[in-house]
Amino acid sequence: MVIDNPGIREIGFVRDESSSISAFPDIDALASQCRFSNCTHTCEPGCRVLEAVITGEIPARRLNNYIKLNNELNYTRERHNKSAARVEKERWQHISKKLKNLKHRKNQQ
């Protein structure tokens, strides 16, 4: 799937969401017409995107690439959020440690 589509490799590593989503404007348009707001467009009966694959509006391979890319983006985003949360936590640990030291020093005086 990745090998026979030279564009997808670069797209997969693009972090800017807006530019990667525009790589599949046809599917994005169908997805916005989908009746489910939190649809994954993979197995939901009545999904507009799946319907388009069934009727041949879009090739199944293209939807596969779309889903693959979305998964990759979600993973990147999740990882990014997690590391951001960890940085924030460490920051607070550092601050509370400083405060503790400060109190300790005050008590000694």
Give the interface with Zn ion as residue ranges (CB under 5 A).
Answer: 34, 39, 41, 47, 49
CB of 20 to Zn ion, least distance (A): 19
Q: Which residue pairs, CB below 8 angstroms and at least 24 apart, start in 14-20?
A: 15/76, 17/73, 17/77, 20/69, 20/73
Please say which residue, 41 or 65, places its beta carbon nearer to Zn ion.
41
CB of 55 to Zn ion, least distance (A): 14
**Which residue's CB comes closest to Zn ion?**
39
Short-list 26, 25, 20, CA closest to 8: 20
Please say which residue, 14 or 39, places its beta carbon nearer to Zn ion.
39
CB of 85 to Zn ion, least distance (A): 30
Please say which residue, 51 or 72, places its beta carbon nearer to Zn ion.
51
